[in-house]
Chain A
Amino acid sequence: MIVCVAVVGHQNNPLYIQSFTDADDSLKLRHIVHCSLDVVDERVNNPKKSGPTLNETFLGLLYPTENYKVYGYLTNTKVKFILVTTDLDVKDADVKNFFRRFHAAYVDAISNPFHEPGKKITSKTFAERVSTIVKSFGLSSTG
């Protein structure tokens, strides 16, 4: 089950953060997202020679914490997408699919001429699309 998704800009400024649990631990989730930014920077600046090519947008599992797994995705414009999930066995292909759809929704949201680059995304359509993507992620991974 996806707990939280976040979009972070290229100066590590948060552009969108949305949690999908009922519990009131949004602060803890923000903290997890913040820590995962360091891992993203480390992966980008110190590529392992035997790992995947450093041109990949999908960064894979960033780090597992107590109950959560955190996945990262870095676009060409240095915007980072962070996904926090509680599922124990999530296939990489599912996460990649999720990020691809999320990226499409993000691109549509920032193509809005009234959106100011660098500011938070306030579009309701974007929030609805993200909810739809998150719900269908849950279904496809259990089905």
Chain B
Amino acid sequence: MGREVSESCVDSLLTEMVSMYCNRLYANKPELAASRIDAIGYQVGHQLSERYTMERPRFTDHLDAIKFICKDFWSELFKKQIDNLKTNHRGTFVLQDNRFRWVSRMSLDPSENGDLSQENAEAAENKAAQEPNMHLHFSCGVIKGALHNLGIACAVSADPSHLPACSFVVRIKP
């Protein structure tokens, strides 16, 4: 007996949260905004991992837990699995999603801001590039929270160079 949530509501909530932290609360301190958004994602991931590991037997090792993130966790959140998983067998994993849901509808065209003068165009481009990065901080927090709850201390960063394809790099702390 599950309840359903409208996906556009989730998108709107995330967009508004990022915009609130970036433009109103920490307008001139993007690093603080990023870490706050990461912390929100951490708590969400922490709680979600508790719910999604309910029916499953326990994991034997790190690879099992990462595979759980790639398959079950991602399917529950985004209705698809991670498209590609790479590892160097020394504690670093790269999870690649070829069409990451939360940024797939974001505009990546910096000229939309309307300013045509040169220096404004650069600032506008920087600002436009920052927006998807902030959303990715939330997703990194979700992954980090989920893995921490499974007992794996790690650092997660995102590589936004080829949006909407997105890679998350998970480095497990020894």
The residues of A with any CB-CB pair to B shorter than 8 Å are 10, 53-57, 74-79, 103-104, 107, 110-111, 113, 117
The residues of B with any CB-CB pair to A shorter than 8 Å are 43, 46-47, 49-51, 53-54, 56-60, 149-151
Is there contact, CB below 8 Å, between B53 and A113? no
Partner of B57, one of A10, A57, A77, A78: A57
Given contacts A55-B58, A77-B50, A77-B150, 11 further A-B contacts (CB under 8 A): A54-B58, A54-B60, A55-B60, A56-B58, A75-B58, A76-B56, A76-B150, A77-B149, A77-B151, A110-B47, A111-B50
Q: Give the residues in chain A near B46, CB-CB below 8 Å.
A: 117
Expressed in whole angstroms, the Cα–Cα distance for A56 and B56 within the complex equals: 9
Partner of A57, one of B43, B49, B58, B151: B58
| Also in contact, A76 and B58, with CB within 8 A (given A111-B50, A111-B51) | yes
Is there contact, CB below 8 Å, between A53 and B57? yes
Q: Give the residues in chain B near A74, CB-CB below 8 Å.
A: 58
Q: Give the residues in chain A near B150, CB-CB below 8 Å.
A: 76-77
Expressed in whole angstroms, the minimum distance between the Cβ of B87 and any Cβ of chain A is 21
Chain A residue nearest to B65 (CB atoms) is A76
Expressed in whole angstroms, the minimum distance between the Cβ of B9 and any Cβ of chain A is 16
A-B CB contacts (within 8 Å), total count:
46
Expressed in whole angstroms, the minimum distance between the Cβ of A98 and any Cβ of chain B is 15
| Also in contact, A113 and B43, with CB within 8 A (given A76-B58, A77-B150) | yes
Is there contact, CB below 8 Å, between B58 and A107? no
Expressed in whole angstroms, the minimum distance between the Cβ of A5 and any Cβ of chain B is 17
Expressed in whole angstroms, the minimum distance between the Cβ of B45 and any Cβ of chain A is 11
Q: Give the residues in chain A near B50, CB-CB below 8 Å.
A: 75, 77, 79, 107, 110-111
Partner of B151, one of A10, A54, A56, A103: A10
Is there contact, CB below 8 Å, between A76 and B51? no
Chain A residue nearest to B57 (CB atoms) is A55
Expressed in whole angstroms, the minimum distance between the Cβ of A8 and any Cβ of chain B is 15
What are 15 A-B residue pairs whose CB atoms fall within 8 Å in the complex? A54-B60, A55-B58, A56-B57, A56-B58, A74-B58, A75-B50, A75-B58, A77-B150, A77-B151, A103-B54, A110-B47, A111-B51, A113-B47, A117-B43, A117-B46
Is there contact, CB below 8 Å, between B49 and A77? yes
Expressed in whole angstroms, the Cα–Cα distance for A53 and B43 within the complex equals: 31
Partner of B54, one of A10, A53, A107, A117: A107
Expressed in whole angstroms, the Cα–Cα distance for A48 and B20 within the complex equals: 54
Expressed in whole angstroms, the minimum distance between the Cβ of A103 and any Cβ of chain B is 6
